[in-house]
Amino acid sequence: MQLGILGLPKSGKTTLFNTLTASHQATDKFAASAQTHIGTATVRDARLEQLRDLFKPKRYVPATVQYVDIPGLKRGEGAESVDLAKLKTVDALVHVVRAFEDDEILHEEGSVDPARDVYSFDLELILADHDLVERRLERLEKATKRGLNPEEVRERALLADVILPALEAEKPLREIELDADDERRLRGFQLLSAKPMLLVINAGEDRAAADVASFGIEVRPAVRAIVVSAPIEQEISRLPPAEQKDFLTDLGLTEPSLDRVTRASYDLLGLISFFTVGEDEVRAWTIHRGTPARAAAGAIHSDIERGFIRAEVVRGEDLLRLKTLHACKEAALLRLEGKEYVMQDGDVAHFRFNV
Ligand SMILES: Nc1nc2c(ncn2[C@@H]2O[C@H](COP(=O)(O)OP(=O)(O)O)[C@@H](O)[C@H]2O)c(=O)[nH]1
Ligand SMILES: [Mg+2]
């Protein structure tokens, strides 16, 4: 699962990407890069860190999420100007919105206006989708002579009656509710405005702790928004942990905003974590929300899924409070769950299996 980092040139995309993924790609005040970068970010989770401190394992493996820094969304050229192949395959979008003032760094539109940029970015996505849907409908129209198969008939109805009117009303497709069949049908087209979106508002250093509302941005349904100062986040990430806290306090923050970005990204992708604990390893495993226990076991190993007998599950908070699995068992907080049990975020699990 990947998130694409997008936005206007010099909005701070690569600075954010570098900080998220501890990378060292070049950033530039004057020129926009044309290179796509891929990197992995750790999703920090306080519960897992506390479990690590409790078990002191040999190995500690937190969850991760992948980001792709996609350069060069140019105004008016729409999605045509970017690495479209890459853009289509990402599962969610992170739109970096410039809100910082800096006379040395020119804004394409001649002024800093986050609300305008958020609006026109959505419009670019909608236009790109509109083009694609129209072309697909034209092709289906031509094919009516030979006769459409039932799937093509349904596809045409979906595109002509639901999708095209929405796009023409400037409505991003992520706001449209579809049944599971149509959802699947639409996913095949990899439409851009249908992807979940996170707005990262890159504010000046003096507004690193400001709230989203103060930027006058319309946060539409199915969109999340977080304020960061990308250069400050970069500075924080390079400080030793002991100094981080004071620095954060000075800024009016309780944690690095970056942690909120990775957690929101994870959430946006529909992902949750369950944990396994022990002296050898404390680890987060990534599954889709709603995954039943047996399939979740498959995240660890296919043998465990195949030979699944049952799951021993305890809430992470309960284990942290009572300190040992044994104590949780005594307190009847360690549950035995069958294969249909829907795993919850923060569950600590041990799977019994037989192969
Ligand atoms: N003053 C200021 N400069 C920033 C901020 N964020 C990024 N920059 C600078 O803006 C320039 C472009 O940043 P970069 O990350 O390369 O933007 P990209 O083109 O969107 O990838 C670099 O010189 C950054 O150091 C910010 O919040 N404040
Ligand atoms: Mg860049």
In a domain, 285, yes or no: no
Q: Are residues 69 and 215 in the same domain?
A: yes
Residue 72, domain CATH: 3.40.50.300
Dihedral angle, C-alpha 254, 256, 257, 262, nearest 10 °? -120
Question: What are the mean pLDDT values of the chain's consecutive 10-residue runs (355 residues total)?
Answer: 92 94 84 83 95 97 95 60 78 96 85 93 93 95 89 94 97 95 93 96 92 92 94 91 89 90 95 97 97 97 96 97 95 96 97 94
> CA 64, 70, 71: angle at the middle one, nearest 5?
145
- Of 267, 300, 320, which residue sits at a domain end? 267
Q: How confident is the model at residue 74, as a pLDDT?
A: 61
What beta strand segments (E) does the chain contain? Answer: 2-6, 37-43, 59-61, 63-69, 92-99, 197-203, 223-228, 271-276, 281-288, 308-315, 335-337, 347-353
Look at residues 138, 162, 190 and tell me which one is the last residue of a structural domain: 190
User: How far, in Å, is the centroid of ligand 1 from the Cα of 177?
Assistant: 37
CA-based angle 304:309:314, to the nearest 5? 90
Residue 54 inside a domain? The answer is yes
Which residue, of 143, 159, 190, is where some domain finishes?
190
Q: Do residues 152 and 230 both lie within one domain?
A: no
Say whether both 214 and 98 belong to one domain.
yes
209/180 same-domain check: no
In residues, how long is the chain?
Answer: 355
Q: 243 and 173, same structural domain?
A: no
* Residue 306 belongs to a domain: yes
Q: What is the DSSP string of 89-139?
A: H-SEEEEEEEE---TTS--TTSS--HHHHHHHHHHHHHHHHHHHHHHHHHH
As for how many domains the chain has, the answer is 3
Structure tokens at 185: 């049908």
Give the distance (Å) from ligand 2 centre to CA of residue 42.
21
Cβ neighbour number for residue 202 with a 10 Å cutoff: 23
Same domain, 139 and 106: no
139 plus 58 within the same structural domain: no
Domain assignment of residue 281, yes or no:
no
105 lines ligand 1 (CB under 6 A): yes
The whole-number pLDDT of residue 73 equals 61
Crossing angle of helices 230-238 and 257-268, in 10° steps, is 110
Task: List, for residues 13-56, the tens digit of each pLDDT value.
Answer: 999 999 999 988 888 776 767 788 999 999 999 999 999 999 99
Is 44 in a helix, a strand, or coil?
coil
This prediction has a pTM of 0.91
pLDDT value of position 341? 98
Q: Ligand 1 atom 23: the closest Cα is on which residue? A: 29
pLDDT of 320: 97
Pairing status of strand 37-43 against strand 271-276: unpaired
CATH number for the domain spanning 172: value is: 1.10.150.300
Q: Do 251 and 308 share a domain, yes or no?
A: no
Please give the residue range of the domain that contains residue 311: 290-353
> What residues sit around ligand 2, an ion, with C-beta below 5 angstroms?
13-14, 33, 71
User: Ligand 1 atom closest to Cα of 17?
Assistant: 15
Is 273 inside any structural domain?
Answer: no
- Domain membership of residue 168 (yes or no) is yes
End-to-end CA distance of the chain: 30
Residues 133 and 238 reside in one and the same domain: no
Question: Do 11 and 82 sit in the same domain of this protein?
Answer: yes
Residue of 27, 107, 201, 215 with the most ligand 1 atoms within 8 Å of its CB, for mutation: 27
Cα(86) to centroid of ligand 1, in Å?
23
Q: Whose CA is nearest to atom 11 of ligand 1?
A: 29
With a 6 A CB cut-off, is 98 part of the ligand 1 pocket?
Answer: no
Q: Is residue 231 part of a domain?
A: yes
- 132 with 56, same domain? no
- CATH number of the domain residue 315 falls in: 3.10.20.30
Are 221 and 321 contained in the same domain?
A: no
Q: How far does residue 178's CA lie from ligand 2's centre (Å)?
A: 35
pLDDT at 131: 93
Kindly state whether residue 278 falls inside one of the protein's structural domains: no
CA-to-CA separations, 294 to 275, 285, 333, 339, in angstroms, rounded: 15, 14, 20, 5
